Structure 1
């Protein structure tokens, strides 16, 4: 007759140690996988959000139009001013409310580590219509388009002046100046809006260029306001 034999205490302890090691390795591997997965998922979500913002911002900038305001002498002037560090203008397509016109401001901000952020802000014309060149505006919180940039430059392509755009052989000026790229473009002085905006910026991954064509007309309600000025 065979005796029923069980596990000895030593065998039980060895089995428990081995099982504990397997569980420890499995839990560590799962924690590492979960951490990396969450990191990659978070990076993916941030990338998707940024890409969506960039698409909407490009649509808003493409809808920047020739918008008329009055200067200090009550004269009609076009509202657009740009320099190497950014620009302000009027778009028919707000980033946050696409059916609303807004004053947009795109500029660079230097951070403490001397790198730059390219940011977008706007002041929607929902409660107050822009009518004066020096009118005080309240802009939204900045939307960061690009971060950690090493260099940023804005340029504007268009006619040097309205007289050059509509130059004729018998005009007061002897020769027409051709369209060109400018580092500064103030429509209040030139009386004409640029046709394109070029934003060149550098990152650790390389150099990039964002080219935005601008609209040349002011339809619908903005056109009616323009006719009244």
Structure 2
């Protein structure tokens, strides 16, 4: 009687090790590719979100400027003036379209340096149940929020009459309106001083350059509220 030995079939240990190594290589390659895709996706989403948020904040800035309201106070020389103060890095005025309140509010946009970053900060204080009579009164802000960050440079500039005196001379001129030449008395400038200007600028321009090489320019038209000041001056006499 002859015994027949059955040959066992299967994988050797070396074959299993090679197969496992190949599988691990495939899994690692897939994980690495997914990580790159995921990182790029996160960067794109983050970039899109920041741009969307900046866009919404730019719209908010426009609404605040569009809501500028004439508000007569006394300046440092005790003269009646329309409240509007500005320089190249900040501006402050009264608006009826604040970010936090729809009541008349005093607001300020200011460029603030924080470490290596530059931020556009918005501050607001409601004037509801509050009388704001003089520039010498301290302002206690109720709200503060960062509207824009990652700023390289930001500059406010103003277009209008260089002084209330120039405006009065123009208005009181005996010449016909068609022959008046105000080209030398209105211009762009970088500082709107309450004691000197006393009325609103005609335009406010904001130039913003971001660190990612993008830029924005906003130009706001401000309605002529000089009649409010003239009326207040006449009533104060």
The answer to whether TM tops 0.5 is yes
Kept after mapping to 2: 8 A contact 1:63/1:214: no
Q: Give the drift of 1:214.
A: 1.6
The total of aligned residue pairs comes to 216
CA–CA separation in structure 2 for the residues paired with 1:165 and 1:88 = 26
Q: Provide structure 2 residue ranges, at least 5 long, that are not aligned to the other structure.
A: none
Kept after mapping to 2: 8 A contact 1:164/1:176: no
Which residue of structure 2 lines up, in the alignment, with residue 209 of structure 1?
217
| 1:164-179 equivalence runs, <5 A | 164-169=169-174, 177=182, 178-179=185-186
| 1:1-229 equivalence runs, <5 A | 5-71=9-75, 76-97=80-101, 99-113=102-116, 116-126=118-128, 128-139=130-141, 140-150=143-153, 152-159=154-161, 160-161=163-164, 162-169=167-174, 177=182, 178-203=185-210, 205=213, 208-217=216-225
Q: TM-score, normalised by structure 1?
A: 0.77
Kept after mapping to 2: 8 A contact 1:117/1:149: no
Q: Name the CA shift for 1:191/1:164 in 2 (closer, same or farther; >3 Å).
A: farther
CA–CA separation in structure 2 for the residues paired with 1:191 and 1:176 = 21
CA RMSD of aligned residues (A): 3.3
Q: TM-score, normalised by structure 2?
A: 0.74
User: Which of structures 1 and 2 has the bigger CA Rg?
Assistant: 2
